[in-house]
Homo-oligomer: A and B are copies of this chain.
Amino acid sequence: VSHVAELVAVGTEILLGNIANTDAQMISRGLSELGINVFHHTVVGDNPERLGKTIALAASRADIIITTGGLGPTADDLTKETVAGAFGKKLNLHQPTVKRIDSYFARTGRKPTENNYKQAMLPEGCHILENDWGTAPGCAFESDGVTVIMLPGPPRECTAMFHNCALPYLRSRFVDGVLVSRNLHVFGMGESAVEAKLFKMISEMKNPTVAPYAKEGEMFLRVTAKAESEQEAQAMIEPVAAEIYSVLGDLIYTDKYESLEDTVVSGLKQTGITLSVAESCTGGSIAKRITDIPGSSAVFMGGVCTYSTASKTALLGIPEQLIAEKGAVSCEVAEQMAVNVRKKFSSDLAVSVTGLAGPDGDGSGLPVGRVYVALACADGVWCRPLDLGSGRERIRVSAANHGLDMVRRYISGLPVVQE
């Protein structure tokens, strides 16, 4: 049986452009993994008439409705009464939720107002989705063959409640067996080139499915299998993943972690290798992304951002003459930056970046987008010369990706630059 879900976001702040409807993206991704179709997203304001009509329309064309937002304590928040009303249901005061609200406020040392107890009014006969991330509980009920789930709007709460409460609820009702996914992250080949290479798999395979996803400066392939058990699903994924590996080889940098920086930090931890960085045009982006990962302090010694030419000499001891002869944006300077920052931080490895992120050039005649990324270890140093096109932000992200990619290739014993 094929199911259709419709997402209804309730919130004037989305219609005013104050925030984007990121809850819908997060939920859609989860539903897609369950194999549940989504044909419509709707956003409607905190207006009972328009919300009521939206719910009635959704009920006429979907068998699952998921609402986000409007569960708060203020007069504006009217999702529960309106949605319940659309299905002829009343709201009842739910005592366990009253107690949860009391203990939440006691814990945070504040006093609840009468308004807060509005959050304990829930549709009669509903299944409560407890909110461990805030005060507004969600709920689910079935009526007239339609399953309705209501979740709070704030993305942090909505994400946690969707994954911990709504997904298990949906899985138990609408999914026979289990769905298991594996993400194969690719760096060094664009989405369309990967799609072209794997066109047959992507367009024809039904179980497992293979789907490409774009990511900033990179992409990943998601292989999803549906089976009776987790073990069986993994066994179905195995040969498909193996075939993709045979096509893309070491362009796949992980099938386990979330990102290049996550892969790099985990790889450094496993090998006991330490890292430092010297950044010019990326201006601290690599350091920022590595330190985004909790626990990176075990392997990341630190870095320098030698943004001015003088600081390349003052901080890293790059000879003024070398800069004068070769230019601050050159392979020679990149390599020297990596070699010297490695010594400064007494780290095993060091990566460096120098380049032109634009919008203006540096007067040297080099094009915007020209970047040199270097990696140094005790035994040598390598440099990737790159032309990364245009767009300051894009150039900076891509240059940082290349730096991280060189580190992960080194750790994995792969060639760091093209032979």
Contact = CB atoms under 8 A, between A and B. Distances in A.
A221 B295 CA distance: 38
Contact of A294 (B211, B296, B310, B359): B359
Interface in A302-356: 302-308, 310-311, 314-315, 344-346
A54 B54 CA distance: 12
Nearest to A359: B294
Interface stretch (A18-26, A84-92, A118-126, A230-238): A18-26
A14 B43 contact: no
Interface string A143-161: 0000000000000000000
A344 B311 CA distance: 8
Contacts of A45: 39
A14 B40 contact: no
Nearest to A300: B307
A242 interface: no
A36 to B, nearest CB: 11
**At the interface, is chain A mostly helix, strand, loop or mixed?**
mixed
A287 B283 contact: yes
Interface string A274-316: 0011010111111110111011110011111111101100110
A32 B16 contact: yes
Contact of A308 (B41, B281, B345, B392): B345
Contact of A17 (B19, B27, B304): B27
A24 B43 contact: yes
Contact of A20 (B21, B47, B310): B21
Given A44-B40, A213-B18, A294-B392, A307 B315 contact: no
A412 interface: no
B15 A41 contact: yes
B304 A297 contact: no
A105 B202 CA distance: 28
A371 to B, nearest CB: 14
A12 to B, nearest CB: 9
B25 A19 contact: yes
A305 B344 CA distance: 12
A367 interface: no
A282 B57 CA distance: 48
Contacts of A393: 292
A352 to B, nearest CB: 13
Nearest to A285: B288
B28 A16 contact: yes
Nearest to A41: B43
The 10 A-B residue pairs with the shortest CB-CB distance, nearest first, are A283-B291, A17-B29, A284-B287, A284-B284, A17-B28, A41-B43, A302-B307, A284-B288, A20-B25, A302-B311
Interface of A: 14-22, 24-32, 38-45, 47, 50, 54, 57, 211, 213-214, 276-277, 279, 281-288, 290-292, 294-297, 300-308, 310-311, 314-315, 344-346, 358-360, 392-393, 396
